[in-house]
Every structure is written in structure tokens, then in C-alpha cells.
Amino acid sequence: MAFKRVVVTGKGGPEVIQVVEAEREEPGPGQVRLRVEASGVAFADIMARRGAYPGLPPHPYTPGYDVVGVVDKLADGVTGFAPGQRAGALMLGFGACAEFVTVPEEMLVPVPQGMDPGEAVSLFLNYLTAWQLLYEMAQVQPGERALVTSAAGGVGTALLQLGKRAGLELIGTASSGKLALVAELGAIPVDYRSEDVVQRLGQDGKGLDVIFDGVGGKTVRRAYRLLGKGGRLVRYGFLSLDASNLVAFLPAILETTWLRLLPDGRRVLFNQGLPEFVAQNKGWYRQIMAELFRLLEQGAIRPVIGKRLPLQETAQAHRLLETGAVQGKIVLLAQG
């Protein structure tokens, strides 16, 4: 039986994205087939489409890292899930943007039946990344002062919500139209376009304990000077760089390496990437996802979804994310 899936046909802009029909795959050994309800769009998808993502699958490939749906079929021997059950996964090699996907059972996590699929899918990449950055990398402590760049984005809003729960004093940078959201999520908002972030934050003489930087670019070295003794600069993204050229990332990588060598009591931590971390820590993955679902059910966290679009509008979703036109997460809806 045929189904629709998104494919990236080659290196380029959103015009290389197509929605095609393919024959539904049977789940292989140890796999589960999901009827997809929602999948997400991430900056990694933009980088991959532009040809600047390491380990990129050959073209044409299906993008998407996070998926939530209903179990449609199990391979022989799979006993941990049942047809009709709600489940989701972090895809370790893209492939989520389709009406049906096959997922290894070990990557599948139960999703509470009554949960909004858009909110549920946001936890798999954005909130899991934020948890990894806060607790596994920065090892934050209550009362610490933290700066979040691109604070109105998908990971940024997750960092603010989880950071507030961790007892952090939060500062978030964003453009002027997104500052109200940053303030609503409990952070001091700073307009990075009209304000000198380093000058403003350095006025009180208090050093920052942590900087979560998903932007990169020219401000990194200046921001590093805002760290106090024992401060940590956690780098996890390159939103300011040209995602069409791997060479553009070389200066940023060299700068990070240079800063890490400075013997000044401050540290620079570079995120290896969530899929790679999860592949090595599957028990952690299942444990933290269960905790995130618990927090969402309690109303303790609430994903910010800037746009919900049908799967057929994946190219538009890429345009919106690439231009920074939305706040929070962009979700693709596979059914209806």
C-alpha cells in the first residue's frame, strides 16, 4: 500500500524538498511500524538539506529527527508494544517526515494516550536536548546565572522552561518581536539586535555561570568573557553560520578548540549531538523521556509550538525555520 513521505532530492534550498508516494515498508527484525501523527523540523534538517551535516544520508533521503504516532505493525518477536498503542522516537538517522515510519523497538518510547501529538513530539528533540545541555553537560546548580541565546527557538524555550525548574536565574536573547515570550518564560529578555549584550550583562560585574549558545559566530569570544570563574560555555548550534558550506564551520570549531585550551578556570563544552549521545545512552534516553512526559502531563512544562503545518508543506516549514519567522517548534502533521 502506498503512503506519502518527504524527500530531499539534492543539496539546495527548500525547492529540493518533494512529497512523493512510496510503498509501505514492512518492519524488519526488531522493528515497529508507526502510523505517524506528528514529526518535527529542526536546524539539523536545514544543515542537512544544505549539505553541511556530517554523516548525511545519500539523496534522496527523508528528513526529520522526531516522530510520534500509533503502532501499526510489529515485526515477529517484538513484544514491548501493541498495535494501536501511542509511541514516539528520536530517529538516529533522519526519516521521520512521512505518513509511516519503521523504528527499532529499542528507540521507541510509550506516549500517554491523551497527549497532544505536537506537544509530545517536541519533547523528543528539543526538550531532550535541553535536558542533556543542562544536566549532562553544564551540570547546573540552583541559583546559578545562565544566558540562553536564541531563547525563543525550539531548544531555547525548552532551556528556559527546564532551567527555571532547575532554579536558575535566566537571561535570554532574542529579536524584539520575541522578547515578550522570553519574559513570559521567566527570563530577563535582551534584544540582541539593538542592545550590546556583552556591555549590558557586564555592567553589574557579576560573571555568568553558564552560557548556552546555539548561535555561534562572532559574539562567542566576547560572550566567553562574561563567564565568571568556573563558568561554562556550552555550544550546541550554529544558527548564525552559512549552513550551505561546511568550510564556514571551520573557524567556529577552531575558536572553540582555542578557548578550551585557555587555563583561566572557565570551560568550553561542545555538544556532540543528541542522536550520538542517545545511541550510547539508551537507558538514559528512555528514563528522561518518561520524566519529560510526566512533567508535561502535570503541566510543569508546555512546549511552545509556533506553527503546525501538514506534511505536504514541509518546504514552507523549512523556509519559516530558516528565516526565524516563528517562535518555538514547527510541527508537521502527517494525518489530515
Q: Is the full-model pTM beyond 0.95?
A: no
Q: What is the pLDDT of residue 241?
A: 47
Instruction: Name the CATH code of domain 127-273 (choices 3.40.50.720, 3.40.50.1970, 3.20.20.140, 1.20.910.10).
Output: 3.40.50.720
For 59-111, the pLDDT digits (tens) are: 999 999 999 999 999 999 999 999 999 999 999 889 999 999 999 999 999 99
* Helix-, strand-, coil-residue percentages of the chain, each rounded to 5: 35, 30, 35
Identity of the residue numbered 130: A
Averaged pLDDT for residues 18-30: 95
Q: What is the pLDDT of residue 80?
A: 94
Q: How confident is the model at residue 237 (pLDDT cuts 50, 70, 90)?
A: confident
- Please work out, in degrees rounded to the nearest 5, the angle formed at the alpha carbon of residue 155 by the alpha carbons of 154 and 158: 95
**Phi then psi dihedrals of residue 4, to 5 deg:** -95, 140
Q: What is the pLDDT of residue 318?
A: 97
Averaged pLDDT for residues 24-28: 94
Distance CA 133, CA 146 (A): 12
Distance CA 140, CA 260 (A): 19
Q: What is the pLDDT of residue 329?
A: 97
For 123-174, the pLDDT digits (tens) are: 999 999 999 999 999 999 999 999 999 999 999 999 999 999 999 999 999 9
- Which residues have C-beta within 8 Å of that of residue 177, sequence separation ≥ 6? none
Q: What is the pLDDT of residue 178?
A: 97
Classify each residue of 169-182 as buried b or exposed e, where b means 16 or more C-beta atoms within 10 Å of its C-beta.
Answer: bbbbbbeeebbebb
Neighbours of 327 (CB within 10 A): 23
Q: How confident is the model at residue 240 (pLDDT cuts 50, 70, 90)?
A: very low
Mean of pLDDT over the chain:
89
User: Which whole-number Å values give the CA distances from 156 to 108, 304, 330, in the listed order?
Assistant: 25, 10, 13
pLDDT at 238 over 50: yes
Averaged pLDDT for residues 226-240: 81
Q: How confident is the model at residue 254 (pLDDT cuts 50, 70, 90)?
A: low
For 132-146, the pLDDT digits (tens) are: 999 999 999 999 999
Q: What secondary structure letter does DSSP report for 11? A: S
For 268-327, the pLDDT digits (tens) are: 888 878 999 999 999 999 999 999 999 999 999 999 999 999 999 999 999 999 999 999
Q: What is the pLDDT of residue 124?
A: 97
pLDDT at 44 over 80: yes
Q: What is the pLDDT of residue 248?
A: 52
Is the separation of the CB atoms in 328 and 152 below 8 Å? yes
Domain borders along the chain are: 2-111+304-333, 127-273
Averaged pLDDT for residues 260-267: 64
Distance CA 75, CA 86 (A): 17
pLDDT at 250 over 60: no
Q: What is the pLDDT of residue 207?
A: 87
Q: How confident is the model at residue 336 (pLDDT cuts 50, 70, 90)?
A: low
Neighbours of 293 (CB within 10 A): 21
Looking at domain 2-111+304-333, does it have CATH number 3.55.50.30? no
Give, for 198, the enclosing helix (H) or strand (E).
Answer: helix 197-202
Of 22-31, 177-186, 242-251, 324-333, which range is least confident?
A: 242-251
